[in-house]
Amino acid sequence: MKMGITNPFKDQSLSLTKKLLPWTLYVLPPIAMLCLYFKPISFTPSSATEFPHSRLITITSHSSLPFLSVPPTSPPPKEKEKAYEKPCDYSNGKWVHDKKGPLYNDTTCGTIKYGRNCITHGRSDTGYLYWRWKPRRCNLPRFESPTFLQIIRNKHVAFIGDSMARNQLESLLCMIATASTPNLVYQKGEDNKFSRWHFPSHNASISLYWSPFLVQGVEKSETKPYNELYLDHIDEKWGRDIDQMDLIVLSFGHWFLLSAVYYENDSVLGCHYCPGLNHTEIGFYDVLRKALRTTLNSIIDKRGTKGNGIDVIVTTFTPHHFEGDWDKAGACPKIRPYRNKEKKLEGMDAEMRKVEIEEVENAKAKASEFGRFRLKALDVTKLALLRPDGHPGPYMNPFPFANGVQEHVQNDCVHWCLPGPIDSWNEIFLEMMKMWE
């Protein structure tokens, strides 16, 4: 992709721009993809889809999402497992072949988003389905839907972030559906960016909040080709509902690679890739840090001091695997995982993960004085790095080569096929929850 860049900055800004420009060019393929995925999601038919008229629902007028009436949380029964004596480092391991394959498929799960349904769309190399993540020094059990449902009984779980948060949520819904079908009770916004599912058997709810920056932001448009981020204010589309949440899963990062202007204390702090604007180029690493810090501090301030507390999981950044032009055949052609020594975590991917891990640890230190605030990083960056074979690629659309290889073929080398590697994220997620319980 060719770009004409007019540099308006002075000499000091020019040096920084030259350093940042290679990263900007490096991430252009996934940036180009992010705007192409918002297509309608297919749901399993449910009598609860007429959500606004359901007598079971109490609507909060100021909220992005209405809420089910949930009684006070009661702890689940003790599981018949050995106590966790030492935390497992799930980020250190390798992908091993697994004959059992995934828990679900495209016919048993009705909540797979259009662009992730690789099998239905004609992907024939199904070998990517038969791998499991094996931590180096511990075991990672297969996902147990009844156990997960028991842990979230009478609770509200909220996935907040960008399309990667949605990807993880869709995987989770499919895995839970092996034991209990999720009832869609609410959806709103373009491409149903705000949605909620309910599990009547356990009076549990799982919600999706579209918030690609976590903080307050104005997304780019045809008339304004850059985002605007207000780094000292959380996004109230989810923030106003925080009192009704029991567990929050944050997943974000890719939208910070886009062109943006940043504000702090009602003043312009700087920008990232903003030719033609008289702002200082400051990149996006520190901005990502500020956004996550504002988010975690706000959650602590709003819920950490209250008796019922809240649990928070931060899913770390996941790399893309573009190897060529995003609109050409073969953009992410791998059909097997990388071995550990084949691929090293470095550069932008390592830095994004580092920022997130550090901010989680800083927030833990701040929240240590509160008895009921639990926070942990779901560190999946390396797991994701080693799975170049798990993306939809051209199968984001149905049968892309039915008429032969075309000159232009859309590819998704950012998100994950369902079923696919991202299911392992949720297996680790469940183990973290079991340790907490």
Enzyme catalytic residues: 163, 412, 415
- Judged on CB neighbours under 10 Å (0-12, 13-18, 19+), 223 is exposed
Count of all residues that appear for the chain in the document = 437
Tokens of 377: 């990083």
CA 214 centroid distance within chain? 12
| Residues linked to residue 133 through DSSP beta bridges, in sequence order | 95
The whole-angstrom separation of Cα 132 and Cα 308 is 36
The whole-angstrom separation of Cα 149 and Cα 433 is 11
For residue 366, the one-letter residue type is K
Q: Which residue from 414, 387, 334 is spatially nearest to 133, judged by alpha carbons? A: 387
- Judged on CB neighbours under 10 Å (0-12, 13-18, 19+), 265 is exposed
The whole-angstrom separation of Cα 426 and Cα 175 is 9
Residues 6+ apart with CB under 8 A from 200: 183
The whole-angstrom separation of Cα 300 and Cα 133 is 32
Tokens of 164: 């990667």
The answer to whether 215 and 231 have CB atoms below 8 angstroms apart is yes
The whole-angstrom separation of Cα 281 and Cα 16 is 7
Question: What is the C-alpha R_g of the chain?
Answer: 21
In the three-class reduction of DSSP (H, G, I as helix; E, B as strand; rest coil), residue 311 is classed as strand
> Measuring CA to CA, how many Å separate 436 from each of 92, 114, 122, 315?
21, 34, 41, 17
The whole-angstrom separation of Cα 424 and Cα 168 is 10
Q: What is the tally of helices (H) and strands (E) in the chain?
A: 9, 15
DSSP tag of 281:
B
The whole-angstrom separation of Cα 326 and Cα 324 is 6
Tokens of 160: 């907040």
